[in-house]
Amino acid sequence: MEKIKVTKFGGTSMADAKQFCKVKSIIESDDKRRCVVVSAPGKRHDDDNKVTDLLYLCQEHIKYSVPFDQVFDIIAKRYLDIVMELELNIDIKSYLDDIKSKISKNISIDYLVSRGEYLNAIIMAEFLNYDFIDAKEVIFFDNNGFIDLNKTHEVLSNKLSWGRPVVIPGFYGSTPDGKVKIFSRGGSDITGAIVARVAEAELYENWTDVSGFLMADPRIVENPKPIERITYRELRELSYMGASVLHEEAIFPVREVGIPINIRNTNEPDNLGTIITDDIKDEENQNIITGIAGKKDFTVIALHKNHMNSEVGFIRKILSILEVNNITIEHVPSGIDSLSIVISNQQLENKLNIIIDEINKKCNPDSINVYRNMALIATVGSKMAYTVGIAARLFTALADAGINIRMIDQGSSEINIITGIEGEGLEKAIRAIYNTFVL
């Protein structure tokens, strides 16, 4: 059987009737585009709201027993306008009324926010004359909250084998007891990757509002250079560190079976965007670094203890304190007598004092310093491992920009140098690194 392309369209690509028309012409221009995954309507302009955010806002109103009708009406209007402008024959109002009546009956937050993609997929299916498949019936989580790929494969591949072109809502699936469960924010990218894997697609196209992956966040660096080709590994490092174009979890399902990802721009469909594959020949990539990304809101706990390295079990003791407190760690860079632990602030909540007390008691360090509100920057590139002097250039760039480095970590894979700096310097630091390596 001929291989298909799975196409995922993000929020801005699905924001209004005009965008729906662009999506339709993209799909109709290639008859391999037979499997479409969609997000909820995103922003139509900078000051607009994403429907998913409005659905969360609805939930907040309900939580504090404040009437939610006004917010719900704004959401409803988004869908009513799309259906009206596209002159579709769907009674979208009855779907909306049904959701509204269920809200008062205490539905789960996951069910409520998933309706953003559910309704958009129903409308897009009608517009394209494709079949609608509810993600609840084909994307399955296990009891631990992870994707159950075997069950998903069994059920979804059966449906796809019927040969009809389909639209599937992104962002959610169902638990073993049949309840709707969502992925984390931006999760429609994951749905698209899972569908591409099950469909054994030749390509996973991810259509968004930028012409591919750029070397830095375009909101920070003016007109960053586009990346034509990038490896899954490099991309994962960048996505994890805040290059939000593609959800970091969207890489595994396709990487394991070698399906390339192509990031494309719905507003500029002739641009070929970025191809993400396993291997890139050196001559294909002229730049020493592939990209830069950064993320705020980390805490670094820096420990110093003379002869730390020769003390058996020192690191284990520290890690077990964090484990007992149910905290995951981002990085643990270490020297001979020093060790830093990098934790996302979200993980720490109110546990910082408890942890510091326990470390002092059980590990007896010479000093312990805590840096709150740190930012991490990842400078990523497969070529870095065998190019001399990259780290020196990076640190000089930051020093020249007047930025203090609090932590350095070069992962053992050597495709990534992570620097920890004060949070407010993030944008300036990214621009300094970009200017050094790219301009």
List residues binding ligand ASP (CB under 6 A).
10-11, 39-40, 50, 52, 116, 170-171, 185-189
**CA triple 394-244-36, angle to 5 deg:** 145
Span of 6-14, 26-34, 156-164, 363-371 interacting with Mg ion by CB under 5 A: 6-14
Compare residues 188 and 290 and give the one whose CB is closer to Mg ion: 188
Q: Which two tokens stand for residue 361?
A: 């008691």
294 binds, among ligand ASP, Mg ion, ligand ADP, none (CB under 5 to 8 A by kind): none
Q: Shortest approach of ligand ADP to residue 296 CB, angstroms? A: 14
For β-strands 338-344 and 291-304, DSSP reports them as: antiparallel
Q: Tell me: does residue 42 bind Mg ion (CB under 5 A).
A: no
- Candidate residues 41, 42, 273, 423; the one interacting with ligand ADP per rule CB under 6 A: 42
Compare residues 186 and 381 and give the one whose CB is closer to ligand ADP: 186
Q: Tell me: does residue 116 bind Mg ion (CB under 5 A).
A: no
171 binds, among ligand ASP, ligand ADP, Mg ion, none (CB under 5 to 8 A by kind): ligand ASP
Compare residues 50 and 264 and give the one whose CB is closer to ligand ASP: 50
Compare residues 187 and 242 and give the one whose CB is closer to ligand ASP: 187
Name the one residue in this structure whose structure tokens are 């394209």. Answer: 128
Q: Tell me: does residue 244 bind ligand ADP (CB under 6 A).
A: yes
Q: Are 226 and 218 in contact, with CB atoms under 8 Å apart? A: no
For β-strands 131-132 and 166-169, DSSP reports them as: parallel
- Candidate residues 243, 250, 376, 378; the one interacting with ligand ADP per rule CB under 6 A: 243
Find all residues with CB under 8 Å of 198, minimum gap 6, and list them.
152, 153, 156, 157, 160
| Total chain residues near ligand ADP (CB under 6 A) | 20
Helix H segments across 258-351?
314-324, 345-348
Q: Shortest approach of ligand ADP to residue 313 CB, angstroms? A: 41
Span of 8-16, 45-53, 307-315, 393-401 interacting with Mg ion by CB under 5 A: 8-16
Q: Tell me: does residue 212 bind Mg ion (CB under 5 A).
A: no
Compare residues 40 and 339 and give the one whose CB is closer to ligand ADP: 40
Binding mask 143-182 for Mg ion (x = CB under 5 A): ----------------------------------------
Q: Tell me: does residue 170 bind ligand ADP (CB under 6 A).
A: no
| Per-residue CA distances from 288 to 232, 381, 383 (Å) | 17, 7, 6
Task: Name the strand (E) or helix (H) holding 277.
Answer: strand 274-277
Q: Tell me: does residue 248 bind ligand ADP (CB under 6 A).
A: no
Phi-psi region of 165 (alpha: psi -120 to 50; beta: other; left: phi over 0): beta
50 binds, among ligand ASP, Mg ion, ligand ADP, none (CB under 5 to 8 A by kind): ligand ASP
Q: Which two tokens stand for residue 24?
A: 């339709």
Distance, CA of 70 to chain centre: 30
Q: Tell me: does residue 186 bind Mg ion (CB under 5 A).
A: yes
DSSP 8-state secondary structure symbol assigned to residue 331: B
378 binds, among Mg ion, ligand ADP, ligand ASP, none (CB under 5 to 8 A by kind): none
Q: Shortest approach of ligand ADP to residue 215 CB, angstroms? A: 7
**Rounded-to-10 torsion of CA 420, 426, 428, 434:** 70
213 binds, among Mg ion, ligand ASP, ligand ADP, none (CB under 5 to 8 A by kind): ligand ADP
Q: Are 219 and 228 in contact, with CB atoms under 8 Å apart? A: no
Q: Are 6 and 71 in contact, with CB atoms under 8 Å apart? A: no
Distance, CA of 268 to chain centre: 22
Compare residues 189 and 234 and give the one whose CB is closer to ligand ASP: 189
Burial label, 427 (beta-carbon count in 10 A; 0-12, 13-18, 19+): middle
Binding mask 251-290 for ligand ADP (x = CB under 6 A): ----------------------------------------
209 binds, among ligand ASP, ligand ADP, Mg ion, none (CB under 5 to 8 A by kind): ligand ADP
Q: Which residues of 170-202 are buried (b: 16+ CB within 10 A; e: fewer)?
A: bbbbbbeeeebbbbeebbbbbbbbbbbbbbebe
Backbone angles phi, psi at 225, to 5 degrees: -65, 140
Q: Which two tokens stand for residue 419?
A: 């620097």
Give 377's strand partners: 294, 419
Q: Which two tokens stand for residue 285?
A: 């990539």
Compare residues 10 and 381 and give the one whose CB is closer to ligand ADP: 10
Q: Are 7 and 202 in contact, with CB atoms under 8 Å apart? A: no
Compare residues 75 and 327 and give the one whose CB is closer to ligand ADP: 75
Q: Which residues bind Mg ion (CB under 5 A)?
A: 10, 186
Give residues in contact with ligand ADP (CB under 6 A): 10-13, 39, 42, 186, 208-210, 213-214, 216-219, 243-245, 291
